[in-house]
Amino acid sequence: MPRSPTALALALSLLLGSVVATAASREFPSEHGSVRVTTVAEGLEHPWGLAFLPDGRMLVTERPGRLRIVSADGQLSAPVSGLPRVRARGQGGLLDVVLHPRFAENRLVYLSFSEPGSGGSGTAVARGRLEGNALQGVEVIFRQAPKVDTAFHYGARLVFDREGKLFVGTGDRGMQDTAQDLALGQGKLFRIKDDGTPAPGLPFADRAGTHPGLFSYGHRNIQGMALHPGTGLLWTHEHGPRGGDEINVARAGRNYGWPVITFGVNYTGTTIGEGLTEKTGMEQPLYQWTPSIGVSGMAFLTGGRFPAWQDDLFVGGLALTRLERLELDGERVSHREVLLDDWNQRIRDVRQGPDGALYVLTDARNGQIARVELLPR
């Protein structure tokens, strides 16, 4: 007799729990008790994005251009074949990974990456069917235009919303003013159908010369995106320069201000533009960090496994190596807690697993997948 979804979830939780109990772990203090961090897999070269398959295995990208399947006991597969050509230079490479909402039926996997081409490279999205250890029928469905010859600020986070539309975040590629030009693909948030065509009802669809799929603009470098568990709205965060990392709620047609307004300054300490932090017609961040922590990865924790953390927002840090927990009151951060501050690991991605725990990727040449759980008092 086939198992019910509840039974399968319980079995998976027990399996993951038994595996990680035997792996290397370390405990850290927190406001609500001890936090245990357990290594699930290691030996990954700059892992960037993580997605859970229905059977409990994981897909993880490595920035140099590899996609791995990771078993529940942490074993890495050989690189998955069939990937598109990737330009692995600087911050570019193979980046995020998400499953189609109907993956169980169509086996479609979506990857963001830096695509080489005329003029340099650009953020692109490809999809293919996962068959065994290969992607079949791979096609590029989205391209940031134009391609430019820089090696940073690709953005590249991917999230499917509740309507089955795909959000794609891009960075300004270090060319600040492009984020305000609606014709260009830099510094924007896009919303597309699962085949890459623009989603219906976009705010600039009738404006000639606008980059296809444009949803919002004025972004510097989006590095985290997640759907709010209550409202279903997309929340994003992005890197500021020296100061001014920020969280925003994505709303159609809005201008999020970069580089006209920012709480940061240039890395040399000089003022950006006119030094403005606000301007009429431009959105204020929901929350901002100065100094920057180098935000990367974002997840709301749901499911009730850790009641003290229920519906809190978790954000990783690259520059200040930490995990941050943000308590929310509507669209306001009411409390902030720094976790894992002395772990000394750059956190690239943060996801909730099917067992209700948090999983993080560490950005290192010998990177790892680690499981984060709040222990009962």
What are the backbone dihedrals phi and psi of residue 350, each rounded to the nearest 5 degrees, phi first?
A: -135, 125
Residue 295: give its domain's CATH number: 2.120.10.30
pLDDT, residue 62, reads: 98
Tokens at 285, concatenated: 């961040």
Q: What is the pLDDT of residues 185-229, one digit of tens each?
A: 999 999 999 999 999 999 999 999 999 999 999 999 999 999 999
Q: Could you tell me how far CA 188 lies from the centroid of its own chain?
A: 15
Q: Could you tell me how far CA 270 lies from the centroid of its own chain?
A: 30
Can you say whether the dihedral through the CA atoms of 281, 229, 345, 79 is positive or negative? negative
pLDDT, residue 23, reads: 65
C-alpha atoms less than 13 angstroms from C-alpha of 142 in its C-beta half-sphere = 34
pLDDT, residue 377, reads: 87
User: Mean of the pLDDT values across residues 122-135?
Assistant: 98
Q: What is the pLDDT of residues 284-339, one digit of tens each?
A: 999 999 999 999 999 999 999 999 999 999 999 999 999 999 999 999 999 999 99
User: Is the separation of the CB atoms in 51 and 100 below 8 Å?
Assistant: no
Q: What is the pTM of this model?
A: 0.93
User: Mean of the pLDDT values across residues 120-124?
Assistant: 98
Q: Which residues are catalytic?
A: 153
Q: What is the pLDDT of residues 254-269, one digit of tens each?
A: 999 999 999 999 999 9
Spatial separation of the C-alpha atoms in residues 184 and 287, rounded to whole Å:
27
At residue 249 the predicted structure's pLDDT band, cuts being 50, 70 and 90, is very high
Domain count, the chain: 1
Q: What is the pLDDT of residues 24-49, one digit of tens each?
A: 999 999 999 999 999 999 999 999 99
The mean predicted confidence, pLDDT, of the chain is 94
pLDDT, residue 178, reads: 98
Structural domain boundaries, residue 226: 5-374
